[in-house]
């Protein structure tokens, strides 16, 4: 869904109002019970905590137990676009219950996979033999699916590299930022002599050297805590104004094991990669503090939905990043987001993603949703074992791979967007395109 689609005119005809009103009336009643509206929203994946409806009772000056007459119902549809979209089946995934059932099936089929090792450098959950597992999906319309241990908080670790890059890209622009960091996939194996590229710059912003470089360019004129709060504020905007915390314990643990990061920082300074007057201790500490920002899986999916929505938060409508920033960020996530597994992930899953050693992985289906997985056991590359398997099974069932056909079902996969796409074509009278596609 484009920004234009999100902001389109929601004018509604008298006939539509009458039809929707009749649809919601219980037999022999004259008005609509408010709970029917709540049930409609819930069925479509809209949480009662969603910003767009949390003030619903106040805007209607109604008690939750009272009924809505036609006049109040019309007011509701005019004021709350998300409710109108539910009635019109215009949400990006119109049949959310069916989609949810498929995702739940994939979740169950991957839950038994407890292979992998948990990173011992991070604070651990108590039950190492039965590690937590959570999946959360948030669409560009704010539809939310929560599975498993979705209330557990964890540090974002390397997923912070995505947000920090987007911040620096937004503030500095592409040209200035990439005078200090490249865009090519690349490793940091010292023995292979691949630490920096041919220009003596880190290969890309999603490996440690590049992430430290990106972090060094964010609000250089501010003190450490102000810089960290600035980054946290961006996270909160991406997560729908949810409170996001910084976990000092995670920072202190990593700070004790930061020798490699200091070595990379000294090498980059020796090669002139940093901007002038950079203090390496400050660079490493700020980078590690950003990694210690803490979220739960729902927050992470919401942040992914902001990227899927090309920079606009689905639930608040706030513009966090411009389109070009998001495009460049997603491009890097596709090519370099899962460490030394990035090429394999791009080949098999074909979606922008970023993983972290705490067990989180963020995946973006542009224009559709952000999806986040959390399970601490990692493979040899540092990616969540369950998270990777879930992503592979997701694109096996749905046509979400970047290079799956979206206009035909030649691949035999499901497309949860198909009804929505068809309705848009019909609405705009694009009958030739319908004939071509179907």
Task: Give the pLDDT confidence of 247-296 residue by residue, as tens digits.
Answer: 999 999 999 999 999 999 999 999 999 999 899 999 999 999 999 999 99
Report the predicted TM-score, pTM, of the whole model to 2 decimal places. 0.90
Q: What is the band of 33 on the pLDDT scale with cuts at 50, 70, 90?
A: confident
The pLDDT of residue 79: 81
CB neighbour list of residue 376: distance below 8 Å, 6 or more residues apart: 118, 119, 124, 125, 131, 132, 154, 358, 359, 384
The pLDDT of residue 24: 86
Residue list for the binding site = 158, 208, 254, 261, 287, 339
Q: What is the band of 438 on the pLDDT scale with cuts at 50, 70, 90?
A: very low
Q: Please report how the helices 297-308 and 224-238 are oriented relative to each other, as an axis angle in degrees rounded to 10.
A: 80
Tell me the backbone φ, ψ of residue 6, rounded to 5 degrees. Answer: -65, -35
For residue 365, give the nearest of 322, 398, 408 by alpha carbon: 398
Question: Three-state SS for 317?
Answer: coil
Task: Give the pLDDT confidence of 379-421 residue by residue, as tens digits.
Answer: 999 999 999 999 999 999 999 999 999 888 899 999 999 654 5
Tell me the backbone φ, ψ of residue 136, rounded to 5 degrees. Answer: -140, 135
Task: Give the pLDDT confidence of 208-238 residue by residue, as tens digits.
Answer: 999 999 999 999 999 999 999 999 999 999 9
d(CA 220, CA 136): 34
In this structure, CATH architecture of domain 3-88: Orthogonal Bundle (1.10)
Sequence-ordered strand ranges (E) for 99-190: 134-139, 144-148, 153-155
Residue list for the binding site for substrate = 158, 208, 254, 261, 287, 339
CB neighbour list of residue 383: distance below 8 Å, 6 or more residues apart: 338, 339, 341, 345, 355, 361
The pLDDT of residue 416: 95
In DSSP terms, 154 is beta-bridged to 295
Q: What is the band of 91 on the pLDDT scale with cuts at 50, 70, 90?
A: very high
Q: What is the band of 127 on the pLDDT scale with cuts at 50, 70, 90?
A: low
Instruction: Find where tokens 């972290």 sit.
Output: 356
For the cut 70, the answer to whether the pLDDT of residue 105 exceeds it is yes
Tell me the backbone φ, ψ of residue 286, rounded to 5 degrees. Answer: -65, -40
Cβ atoms of 152 and 318 closer than 8 Å? no
Task: Give the pLDDT confidence of 148-198 residue by residue, as tens digits.
Answer: 999 999 999 999 999 999 999 999 999 999 999 999 998 665 445 568 999
Mean pLDDT of the chain: 88
d(CA 247, CA 91): 36
Q: Lowest-pLDDT range, 69-83, 228-242, 420-434?
A: 420-434
Region 35-49: what's the mean pLDDT? 89
Question: Where do you find CATH 1.10.238 in the chain?
Answer: 3-88
Cβ atoms of 369 and 137 closer than 8 Å? yes
103-397 CATH: 3.40.710.10
The pLDDT of residue 8: 41
Instruction: Find where tokens 């179907």 sit.
Output: 438
d(CA 336, CA 331): 9
Cβ atoms of 1 and 367 closer than 8 Å? yes
Question: Where do you find CATH 3.40.710.10 in the chain?
Answer: 103-397
């Amino acid at each position: 869904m484009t920004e234009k689609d999100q902001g389109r005119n929601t004018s509604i005809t008298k006939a539509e109002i009458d039809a929707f009103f009749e649809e919601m009336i219980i037999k022999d009643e004259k008005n609509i019970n408010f709970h029917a509206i709540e049930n409609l929203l819930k069925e479509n994946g809209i949480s009662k905590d969603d910003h767009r409806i949390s003030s619903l009772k106040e805007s209607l000056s109604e008690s939750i137990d009272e009924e809505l007459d036609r006049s109040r119902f019309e007011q509701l549809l005019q004021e709350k676009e998300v409710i109108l979209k539910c009635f019109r089946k215009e949400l990006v995934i119109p049949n959310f219950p069916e989609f949810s059932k498929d995702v739940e099936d994939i979740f169950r089929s991957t839950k038994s996979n407890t292979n992998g090792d948990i990173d011992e450098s991070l604070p651990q959950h108590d039950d190492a033999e039965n590690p937590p597992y959570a999946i959360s999906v948030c669409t560009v319309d704010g539809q939310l699916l929560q599975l498993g241990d979705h209330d557990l908080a964890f540090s974002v670790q390397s997923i912070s590299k995505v947000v920090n890059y987007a911040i620096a890209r937004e503030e500095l622009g592409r040209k200035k930022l990439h005078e200090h960091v490249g865009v090519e996939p690349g490793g940091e194996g010292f023995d292979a002599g691949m630490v920096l590229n041919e220009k003596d710059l880190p290969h890309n912003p999603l490996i440690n050297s590049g992430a430290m470089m990106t972090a060094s360019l964010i609000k250089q004129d501010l003190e450490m805590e102000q810089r960290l709060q600035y980054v946290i504020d961006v996270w909160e905007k991406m997560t729908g104004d949810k409170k996001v915390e910084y976990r000092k314990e995670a920072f202190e643990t990593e700070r004790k094991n930061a020798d490699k990061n200091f070595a990379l920082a000294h090498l980059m300074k020796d090669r002139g990669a940093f901007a002038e007057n950079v203090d390496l201790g400050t660079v490493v500490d700020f980078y590690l503090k950003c990694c210690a920002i803490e979220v739960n899986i729902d927050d992470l999916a919401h942040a992914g939905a902001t990227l899927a929505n090309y920079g606009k938060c689905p639930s608040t409508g706030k513009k966090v990043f411009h389109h070009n920033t998001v495009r460049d960020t997603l491009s890097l996530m596709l090519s370099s987001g899962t460490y030394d597994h990035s090429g394999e992930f791009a080949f098999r899953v074909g979606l922008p993603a970023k993983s972290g050693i705490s067990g989180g992985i963020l995946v973006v289906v542009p224009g559709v949703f952000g999806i986040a997985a959390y399970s601490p056991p990692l493979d040899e590359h540092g990616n969540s074992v369950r998270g990777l398997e879930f992503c592979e099974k997701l694109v096996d069932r749905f046509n979400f791979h970047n290079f799956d056909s979206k206009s035909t079902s030649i691949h035999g996969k499901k497309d949860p967007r198909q009804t929505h796409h068809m309705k848009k074509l019909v609405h705009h009278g694009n009958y030739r395109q319908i004939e071509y596609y179907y």
